[in-house]
Chains A and B, each alone.
Chain A
Amino acid sequence: MTEDRRVFDYLLRLADSDLVLAQRLGEWVGHGPVLEEDIALTNVGLDLLGQARLWFAYAGEVEARFAEAGRSEDALAFLRDSGEFRNLLLVEQPNGNYADTMARQFYFDVWHQLLLVKLAHSRDPRIAEIAVKAEKEVVYHAERSADWIIRLGDGTDESHARIQAAIDDLWMYTGEMFDPDEIDTPLAEEGIGCDLRALEPAWREAVGSVLDEATLTLPGGTWMQRGGKKGVHTEHLGHMLATMQWLPRTYRGAEW
């Protein structure tokens, strides 16, 4: 695999996780537990959607270096099937109840911030530039989701039980975040990507300390689901894409 192909695939991973999570957050709009949360969830969703668009735009440019032409952000978002999506399995999990949504967000945000801090020093100046911009937004996402974990964990008996269940249920999708493959490893060595394994201790520490404060227990399970980066997804992604992609696929070639 050429370097450009690797970078292209790497950018899709970043873009797809942002897009898929933004799409999930978009499902909440109008249905949040309180108006302020509707606004906040939409804010986070809009940030992630904006970041996805930046990654897609660069991915299209990189693709043009090895393919006949680079695809547009919309071609990448709407005309790839689930097997070509490179997002983490975690972010495609359904919204569930508010605890499920917040646990998913929390696991992701902590990782996302750690990753972007590293990518801000990427030798690829475009990756560094996007990461710097995105990290400024993700700091707030991570603060907000940690606050909710603490509130729900140390709130009522019901909220405690719900958030613990969500934290436990989603745990098996967190391993993938620290699991480098034949794309991550060379890119990390070249200083373009980052060493995913090195993120894990910091992530565990940050997650553990928030869970402690929330009076919650860090799950002990060791079996981790994998496949997102290779395009082997859970059943949920196909349904999401069916909804998201239906219009541009039905009216092929149309401008919107």
Chain B
Amino acid sequence: MYAQMVDTGANKLRALEDMGPEERAFQERVDADVKIEPKDWMPEAYRKTLIRQISQHAHSEIVGMLPEGNWITRAPSLKRKAILMAKVQDEAGHGLYLYAAAETLGVSRDQLVADLHAGKAKYSSIFNYPTLTWADIGAIGWLVDGAAIMNQIPLCRCSFGPYSRAMIRVCKEESFHQRQGFDIMMTLCRGSAEQKAMAQDALNRWWWPSLMMFGPPDAVSNDELRQRFVDQTVPQADYLGITMPDPELKWNAERGHYDFGPIDWDELYNVVKGNGPCNRDRLQTRVKAWEEGAWVREAALAYAEKRAARAQKAA
């Protein structure tokens, strides 16, 4: 699914003539929209920022498997079960190629995972909210994937080749997921009163956290993307016949946008700090899976070594 936007590190603007030849060549490639590839020279700050951002994104995919995986065994039809399994599998795939993109920068996946488990690396806060009903699977696809796509489209044009290529693929799959999520919501909203109430309840719980995915209002681009998301999503809720949990939400003809109420940023900061409903569970689940799998990974490694040794002996 998705990682929150990470700021791009300290990027002091310097004139080309103040740069060394390597840095100048790097900057000229970026300016000319030529992708930077892993073997190219790059500034250390650029490498560090990329590692942090890409790994945070990869972690988000992996932790993001948990809230949705929570409903695989309880999906209400075989078709929905198959779609959900495939979706969560896509997320594992995203995680895999994002970790691979990070590894091209000279860091190992094991190290990145260790940082996640130690609480040193972050993942998207949205996954610290629980999936309480089947409608949450619809709401996540519709709202969370929708917000993620909006956030991620600019990353498809990012200057680092492996990340840019990964994001193009991720975005394609995410828009598929978003349609599937909306389809769940539509089916619920056209269903019984109980089903529609389930859809409304999911919207109530996921709306504000979804808006928070665009990050705090300190960057203009965050607010622009958030506004675009609200403008896109409100008519969809109207179509579904459910309402945003925001009494201040209304169309502003003068601005040509929807006005919406204030976001409770204390909530986001709290979740980021570790006080969300599921922070502890999510991390503990990941750590447990990793620790309980240690003997399996060790066995695979030991077997590979034995086999290599035998092949060498035979040669």
Contacts and interface: CB of A to CB of B under 8 A. Distances in A.
For chain A, give the interface size range.
35 or more
A227 to B, nearest CB: 24
B78 interface: yes
Contacts, number: 140
A77 B96 CA distance: 33
A254 interface: yes
Contacts of A248: 76-77
Contact of A39 (B80, B92, B296): B92
A43 interface: yes
Given A30-B69, A35-B95, A74-B78, A156 B195 contact: no
Contacts of B194: 251, 254
A181 B194 CA distance: 45
B85 A255 contact: no
A42 B76 contact: no
A191 B88 CA distance: 41
Nearest to B58: A35
Contacts of B88: 29-30, 42
B46 interface: no
B34 interface: no
A80 to B, nearest CB: 13
A26 B187 contact: no
Nearest to A26: B72
Given A151-B300, A155-B303, A34 B293 contact: yes
A167 interface: no
Interface in A74-119: 74, 77-78, 97-98
A252 to B, nearest CB: 10
Interface in B295-315: 295-300, 302-303, 306
Given A31-B285, A77-B78, A156 B89 contact: no
Would you call the interface of chain A mostly helix, strand, loop, or mixed?
A: helix
Interface in B26-69: 62, 65-66, 69
A30 B65 contact: yes
A32 interface: yes
B191 interface: yes
Given A31-B289, A35-B62, A49-B81, A23 B73 contact: yes
B161 interface: no
Contact of B302 (A43, A156, A244): A156
B303 A151 contact: yes
A164 B174 CA distance: 42
A24 B99 CA distance: 28
Given A38-B65, A254-B191, 19 more contacts: A29-B65, A31-B285, A32-B289, A35-B96, A37-B296, A39-B96, A42-B92, A43-B89, A53-B79, A56-B78, A74-B78, A151-B303, A155-B300, A158-B299, A162-B295, A243-B73, A246-B74, A254-B76, A254-B195
Interface of B: 62, 65-66, 69, 72-82, 85-86, 88-89, 92-93, 95-96, 99, 134, 184, 187-188, 190-192, 194-195, 285, 288-290, 292-300, 302-303, 306
The 7 closest A-B pairs by CB, nearest first: A33-B293, A155-B299, A159-B299, A33-B296, A30-B69, A256-B76, A30-B65
